[in-house]
Structure 1
Amino acid sequence: MQNPKSAFFSIESLFSHSHQNLCQSFCVDQSVLVLVPNPSDPHQLIRLNHVSFDFDCRINYGRIFCYDCRTVEAIQDRVLTNQVGAIQLLIGGCLRASKTDKLPLPGAPIELRIELDINNYLRRTSRIPSMSWARMMWTVASRADLVAFTGVYFSVLGGAYSSLGKTNSFFAHKAKTLALQQIRLAQWLKDPILECKCWLYYAEDLLQLGKFKRATEIIRRQTAYAEILNDGILLNMCQSVYAKKEMALLTRQVKTKKVNYM
C-alpha cells in the first residue's frame, strides 16, 4: 500500500519521459547517497541512507539548496517513506536545474547533497513584511501569553482555595467561583478536554459545600464524555472525584449519626 505522504508527487507527473528513463536507470539502493544537514549544525551533512562508495571511484555530485528547514524535513520524510521514488525525483530535479539530459559521468554513482541556505534563510525570517503584519502578530502573541498566564493563575489560585475550603466554606465558595471562570475560559478557547477537567474541579468544590446532587450529575456527565474519548487521564480524574464524593457522603453520614446519638 502506498504511503499517503509520498503520493502527492510522482516522477511521472513532474518530469518528461526522457527524464524518467534516465532517473530509473540508476540502482537507487546501491548507487545514490543522500546527505542532509545535521539539525544541531546545518553546516555539517549526515547520511540519510546507508550507501558507501569506493575510495578511488569517480562520483556525480548533485547539490539541492533549500531556503527553509521545513523543506529539508519534507525531503527527509519522503526519502525515509519512499526511498526509490524520492531519490528519482531529486535526481530529476538536479538534471532539470542543470538544463541537461545526461550526467557528467555516465554510469558513475551519485552523491546528492541537500543543503540549507542559512544566510538567506535567516535574512528572510528576520524581515518584517509590513507593519500591519507585525501588529497582527504582536496581537496574537500578546493574547496567547495573556491566556496562558490567566489559565495558570486560575489553576494555582483555585487549587489553593480548594485546599483551604476543606475546613472553611468561605474559601470553598471562592474556589467554586474560580472553577466557573476556568470553565468559561475553556469554552472560549474551544478546548473540550480542558473544559471537562474544569467541570471536575467545580464538582470537587460543590462536594465541599455539601451540594452532592449537583456534583453527582456533573461527575456522571463528565465520566460519560471521558468514556467516549477513551482518555485515560480524564477517566482517572473522574474516578478520583467520584471517590471523593463517596468519602464525603460517608463522612456526612457518620457526623449525622453522632449528632443523633447525642
Structure 2
Amino acid sequence: MTTRTKITGVVLGAAVAGALALVPLTDDGPDPGPGPGPGHDTAGAGAGGNVVLGESEKEAVPSFTATDWVSHGDQVAVVRVTAERELRDASRADTGDDSGEDYLARTVDLRVGQRLWARSGAPALPVTVSVTADGWQLKDGAKREVGSRASSRLEVGHDYVVAFGHFSDGAWAPLGSGAVLPCDGGRIGDGEFQGETVTVDAYRSALEQRLVPGDEEPVAYRAVGKPAAGVQGILRGAKPTDG
C-alpha cells in the first residue's frame, strides 16, 4: 500500500481518551457476548464480574474480513501479552470529572511468535511490540476493567493472532477490533474475549450473532477452531481492494 494514516484515538475500536459509551456486561441490551459453557470461566465479566464493555468508536480502517487484512495490514502473527502498564494522563487527572468517573488507559507488551502472513514489501515486524489497549474505568474509588464489544481486551498471559498495520509515525498496532483473535494453545477461539476466558464454542456462538447475510464473513469466524496457521489459507485466497 502507498498511503497509511496513524490510528489516532482509536485502540482496538475504542477511544483511549475514555469517550467510550460504557455498558456493563450484565446489561440486557443486544449482543451480550458469549455465555457460560463447558470450560467457560464464569468468574469473568459474563457472570457479572468487573469488566465494563464499551461500544466501539468508528475505526480508522476496516479490520474484520480477509479482504480488510490484506488491503490494510502489513503483518499477521501470533503474539503473547507479557506485561501491562497504566498510561496516566496528568491533564485529565487535574481536571477530574463531575460524575466522579475517569478513564485510565493501558499499554501492553506483545512478544511476537509465529509469523503467519506479510504484505509484499512490508517492513519487518519487531520481536516485541508495545500497543495501547482498553484500560480501566475509575469511579468512586473503584477500578474496573474496560473492554470493547466483540473484541479481545489483550490480557497478560494470553495468546492472540493479530493483524498489524505499520503506520506513518513508525508505530505498529492492530488494525482494529476485528484484527485480534484469541488463540490460547495455538487454537483460534480459545482464550480471552471481551475480558473473559472462552472456549471455541462460546467464541463461535458470539461471532454468529454478528454475521450479516450477504457480507464477507470475518476472519475470526472463518478461522475459529483452526490452528493459528489456518489463517494463512484464508489470506492466501483474499485479494486487496484498490487504493
Q: Quickly name the TM-score band, shorter chain normalised.
A: under 0.3
TM-score (norm 2): 0.23
Structure of greater Rg? 1
TM-score (norm 1): 0.22
Q: Give 1 or 2: higher strand fraction.
A: 2
Q: Give 1 or 2: higher helix fraction.
A: 1
